[in-house]
Amino acid sequence: QDKTSMASRQSRGKKLVDPVFSILAKAKEAAAEYGEEKVVNATIGSIQDDDGHLATLDKVTELVRSFAPERIMSYAPIKGIAGFEEAALNFTFGSSRPEGHLAAIATPGGTGAIRQVIYNYADDNSNVLIPDWHWGPYKVIAKEFGRKIDMYSIFTEDFKFNLVEFKKKVTANLKQQDNLVIIFNTPAHNPTGFTISTAEWEGILTILREAAEDKSKNIITLLDIAYIDYAGEFEEVRKFFTLFGGLPENILVTVASSMSKSFLAYGMRCGALIGLSSSKEVVDEFVDVSAYSSRANWSNVNHLPQELLVELYNNESMLADVYSEREGFRKLVEQRGQLFLTEARESGLEICPYYAGFFIAIPCDNPEAVVERLQQEKIFAVPLNKGIRLAVCSIPTAQMPGLAAKIKESLTD
């Protein structure tokens, strides 16, 4: 036993290493030394406008300022305020609400929702299945609760969803454990911008239905849709949800819905965890275990953003204003992404399949060395296991031209 540690056995040695923040600090130092316009800071995972300022939605800010103190300072109920569940279901599904029993409870962002599912549905020491290209905190959350991570290669050689590898991992894990939580981050996946197509979803659901024929097994899908509102038009990007109706009772569908990106309100820390099942008992249990976990972890969720969501989804014209303002920022990010894609094609730079969203990923060997070489060019990107990540959400449009070519050069040095 390490005598210098006072921490409990399960907490000993845990230390958060966040590559984004350390590289961000370097980018800021370089900007101070050489001037902001000389430095490409591709680390920040929030939309910055073309002047380098954090983008926010005026209508959201207006609404935030309009609430009387007694409406936002009081405790909210544990599962969410009156009207929150309906507002969260409308926000998440639009008119593509899947058939089945549904419930939604408030969470502190998508992160809170993801935490609840990993804790309540993956057994101690069992595997949670995620893709090889993934958002790092899934691993942090799993480790926090003594769960393990298994990964499948998400892409085929021609950059389609790899159904063969996915099936292998689902089958292998269900041989050794009865509950399997599987996380999907789509549309506009972090870190690649990949979106699972309808045909690919049909393939995935066929595999899961087959696996669920063994009734001793439980499959829990977690749809992490943090970037959905940057993937395309509101109703269009939500159509895939209807595929999740009518699944067998031993497949529980959960959705981690987040207000962070959709309302450019990252720091308000609000989202919803949604459960969908063809069994009412399964959804009732989902609400019971989730609410218990909420009480044990954060008690209740921030009151203000809940009021905001309820207000917006009860006021069509206000909501329309928010959507149209957000559309401007979606188009801005799309324009930056398209500029990069065009130049990547021209310079022969291979990138992961980018459909939309905040990030573009470039596969490469030795990402740490590539990131360091790029820093010599005053370009600051984040290294991942299998490549590097560029946050197109935060790079001013004027800095996009020439970027793909410089990255291509840095790979061959």
In the complex, the smallest distance separating the C-beta of residue 391 from ligand PLP, rounded to whole angstroms, is 10
Helix (H) or strand (E) holding 56: none
Q: CA-to-CA distance for 247 and 279, rounded, in angstroms?
A: 10
State the Cα–Cα distance between residues 294 and 373, nearest whole angstrom: 45
Q: Judged by CB under 6 A, does residue 192 bind ligand PLP?
A: no
Nearest to 129 by CA among 113, 115, 147: 147
Q: Which of 43, 56, 92, 111 binds ligand PLP (CB under 6 A)?
A: 111
d(CA 252, CA 194): 24
User: Considering only residues 63-102, where is the footprint of ligand PLP by CB under 6 A?
Assistant: none
Copy the structure tokens of residue 354. 């980018």
Q: Which stretch binds ligand PLP (CB under 6 A): 103-111, 145-153, 371-379, 389-397?
A: 103-111
Kindly write out the interface string for residues 13-52 of this chain, putting x where it contacts ligand PLP by CB under 6 A and - elsewhere.
Answer: --------------------------------x-------
Three-class SS of residue 275? strand
Q: Which stretch binds ligand PLP (CB under 6 A): 108-116, 122-130, 139-147, 405-413?
A: 108-116
CA-wise closest residue to 294 among 273, 277, 308, 265: 273
Query: Among 80, 100, 110, 131, which residue sits at the site for ligand PLP (rule: CB under 6 A)?
Result: 110
Is residue 270 a contact partner of residue 108, using CB atoms and an 8 Å limit? yes
The CB-nearest residue to ligand PLP is 109
Considering only residues 116, 221, 258, 302, which one is a binding residue for ligand PLP as defined by CB under 6 A? Answer: 258
Sole binder of ligand PLP in the list 159, 266, 323, 355 (CB under 6 A) = 266
Binding-site string for ligand PLP from residue 384 to residue 413, where x marks contact by CB under 6 A and - marks none: ------------------------------
**Interacting span for ligand PLP (CB under 6 A) from 59-67, 104-112, 329-337, 363-371:** 104-112
**Cβ contact 239:197 at 8 Å:** no
Q: Which x/- pattern over 337-376 shows residues binding ligand PLP (rule: CB under 6 A)?
A: ----------------------------------------
Sequence-separated (6 or more) residues with CB below 8 Å from residue 318: 59, 63, 311, 312
DSSP 89-131: HHHHHTT-PPSSEEEEEEESHHHHHHHHHHHHHSPTT-EEEEE
Strand ranges, E, within 298-405: 359-363, 379-380, 382-383, 387-391
Residue located via tokens 């218990």? 292
CB of 270 to ligand PLP, least distance (A): 8
Pair 392, 359: CB distance under 8 Å: yes
Which residue in the block uniquely carries the two structure tokens 């559309």? 327
Q: Please provide residue 294's backbone torsions phi and psi, each rounded to the nearest 5 degrees.
A: -60, -50
- Is residue 321 a contact residue for ligand PLP (CB under 6 A)? no
Taking each helix axis as running N to C, give the angle between helix 303-312 and helix 84-93, from 0 to 180 degrees, rounded to the nearest 10: 60
Q: How far is the CB of 133 from ligand PLP (least distance, A)?
A: 11
Q: How many residues bind ligand PLP (CB under 6 A)?
A: 13
Report if residue 271 touches ligand PLP, rule: CB under 6 A. Answer: yes
Nearest residue (CB) to ligand PLP, 135 versus 241: 135
Minimum CB distance to ligand PLP smaller for 190 or for 277 = 190
Q: Which is nearer to ligand PLP, 140 or 287 (CB)?
A: 140
Site string for ligand PLP, 212-241 (x = CB under 6 A): ------------x-x---------------
Q: Which residue has the tokens 């022969």?
A: 348
Where does residue 3 rank: exposed (0-12), middle (13-18), buried (19+ CB within 10 A)?
exposed
Least Å from the CB of residue 390 to ligand PLP: 14
Q: Of residues 93, 135, 155, 241, which one binds ligand PLP by CB under 6 A? A: 135
Of 43, 126, 190, 278, the residue at the interface with ligand PLP (CB under 6 A) is: 190
Is the backbone peptide bond immediately before 367 cis, with ω within 30 degrees of 0?
no
CB 286 within 8 A of CB 252: yes
Residues written for the chain:
413
Q: Which of 92, 126, 173, 260 binds ligand PLP (CB under 6 A)?
A: 260
- Closer to ligand PLP by CB, 259 or 403: give it: 259
Q: What are phi and psi of 407, to 5 degrees?
A: -70, -40
256 versus 276: smaller Cβ distance to ligand PLP: 256
**Segment 157-186, which members bind ligand PLP (CB under 6 A)?**
185
**Residues within the interface to ligand PLP (CB under 6 A):** 45, 109-111, 135, 185, 190, 224, 226, 258, 260, 266, 271
